[in-house]
Structure 1
Amino acid sequence: MVKIAVGRVEEATQADSIRATVAELVCTFLFVFAGVGSALTVDKLSESSALTPGAGLVIIALTHTFAVYAMVSAGFHISGGHLNPAVTLGLAVGGHITLLRSILYWIAQLLGSTLACFLLEFITGGMGIPVHTLAGGTGYIEGVVMEMVLTFSLLFTVYATVVDPKRGSMGVLMAPLCVALVVGANIMAGGPFSGASMNPARSFGPAFVMWEWRDHWVYWVGPLVGGGLAGALYENFFIIRTYEPLTVCQ
């Protein structure tokens, strides 16, 4: 059962809400800057045959792992360190963030990603920003299912290490690392097929800057469905408690 808390209009002007929204913008900007930057680095090194495709995939996966760990840790106590509309939606269906604040987060995440990609294009002398598209042989259905499963695993990890009251103190301490590790593992597992976005904001920035929307809908439908399903399943099946919707995501 979906447990969405709508929130109040005044929430948008509250100081903690503004701080949280700005934190999402900054943290998403820095995450995308590192993640897309690593893809540009791989492209640059590949031009001189300095890298094999497998080595490039590992570099991108590790960079995303490090960036997610750092930025989730940095934003955790301010906004929850979502960095990702799918994470925000997954928490919203469980009532852990209001719908109003979710919308603010989405705007901040998309803006942060877009600004990071514009800056990368500028400082790299106009190198083309790599855009998420499906690999040859991967159809729309396969791509959506891949992104759905990868994002489901991400939100399942978020709920298990952050939300579940049975997680204990170690869960809180290890949550950013666990989230980062599942992102890196998923990139190595799904990168050659769908690009392993798991994050509509991560895909939106490059697509907007390059104005390349081919396959882009896949990176909204798959992650949002997968994240929403994971949130609903974990909240209703694995967590046993009396439901009290939260108006603020801490």
Structure 2
Amino acid sequence: MPISRIAIGNPSEFGQADALKAALAEFISMLIFVFAGEGSGMAYNKLTDNGSATPAGVVAASLSHAFALFVAVSVGANISGGHVNPAVTFGAFIGGHISLLRGILYWIAQLLGSVVACLLLKFATGGLETSAFSLSPGVGAANALVFEIVMTFGLVYTVYATAVDPKKGNLGIIAPIAIGFIVGANILAGGAFDGASMNPAVSFGPAVVSGTWANHWVYWVGPLIGSAIAAIIYETFFITPNSYEHLPVTDY
């Protein structure tokens, strides 16, 4: 079972140069991703005078997030592995690919990157609101929780198949674009219902800056559950003991 490979790590990791560089890379990648993704939503609201969401708006959000995540994962891949998502980091931890302490360092960097991106957007736009994720009318917390679990499962399963699996071969080359595509597709599926976060940090930044915390727990619990399920299934059924290896950061 993958859970047997969970590692706590050593407190000295918090002071190691490679760990700090990896955390900085996660901070920068998250800032790039949230600035582009949240910024596209703010631009849409400005152009439509905060009008109702339209199919064109959902498509635009899907494309902007897919492109931005492709870039954010790519620029961080050789340094931190390009997680750009606390749920991805959690999935890597469950599978034994990152220690708990290094994972916490990643989480701190990811959350800070999201908050700083939203603060920069608010300043650059003259004080426009950075909208927090929220549920659409008629969508309950339980409905949104299922959406977040399933969508994040698909995301983390894609990460495992294209970036983590030791048998991936040349498939690893397309990992960033595959990860961007699944996020973009999931936004098309769930964006009209709960905003399709799949990423606790992406939800955290706008919530902090706007001060809006309604149903915020959904955007943590759902992605973490979906991530854990994906990691356990992939590790149990598709990464055999004789093919398993702890991947160095440069490979993931």
Contact 2:78 2:249 (C-alpha < 8 Å) held by counterparts: no
**Counterpart of 1:220 in 2: which secondary structure?**
helix
Q: Is 1:221 equivalent to 2:221 in the alignment?
A: yes
> TM-score, normalised to structure 1's length?
0.95
Q: Is 1:208 equivalent to 2:208 in the alignment?
A: yes
Instruction: Choose the corresponding residue for 1:36, options 35, 38, 41.
Output: 38
Q: Is 1:142 equivalent to 2:148 in the alignment?
A: no
Equivalence for 1:182: 182
Equivalence for 2:16: 14
Contact 2:166 2:243 (C-alpha < 8 Å) held by counterparts: no
* Number of positions where the alignment pairs a residue of Structure 1 with one of Structure 2: 248
1:72-108 residue CA offsets vs partner (Å, 9 max, x unmatched): 0000000000110000001110011111100000000
- Measure the CA separation in 2 of the matches of 1:132 and 1:221: 14
- Measure the CA separation in 1 of the matches of 2:245 and 2:172: 20
**Counterpart of 1:22 in 2: which secondary structure?**
helix
1:167-201 residue CA offsets vs partner (Å, 9 max, x unmatched): 111x1111001000000000011000111000000
5 Å-filtered alignment, 1:122-133, equals 122-133=123-134
Equivalence for 2:93: 92
Contact 1:95 1:245 (C-alpha < 8 Å) held by counterparts: no
- Measure the CA separation in 1 of the matches of 2:12 and 2:42: 42
1:52/1:17 CA distance change after superposition, 3 Å? closer
- Measure the CA separation in 2 of the matches of 1:70 and 1:53: 26
- Measure the CA separation in 1 of the matches of 2:243 and 2:11: 23
- Measure the CA separation in 2 of the matches of 1:35 and 1:48: 17
* Unaligned ranges ≥5, structure 2: none
1:152/1:146 CA distance change after superposition, 3 Å? same
Alignment root-mean-square deviation, CA: 1.6
Equivalence for 2:106: 105
Contact 2:118 2:130 (C-alpha < 8 Å) held by counterparts: yes
Give 1:241 deviation, angstroms. Answer: 2.3
1:137-191 residue CA offsets vs partner (Å, 9 max, x unmatched): 111111101000000000000000011122111x111100100000000001100
- Measure the CA separation in 1 of the matches of 2:53 and 2:83: 32
Equivalence for 1:54: 55
**Counterpart of 2:241 in 1: which secondary structure?**
coil
> TM-score, normalised to structure 2's length?
0.94
- Measure the CA separation in 1 of the matches of 2:222 and 2:165: 24
* Unaligned ranges ≥5, structure 1: none
Give 1:244 deviation, angstroms. Answer: 6.3
Equivalence for 1:73: 74
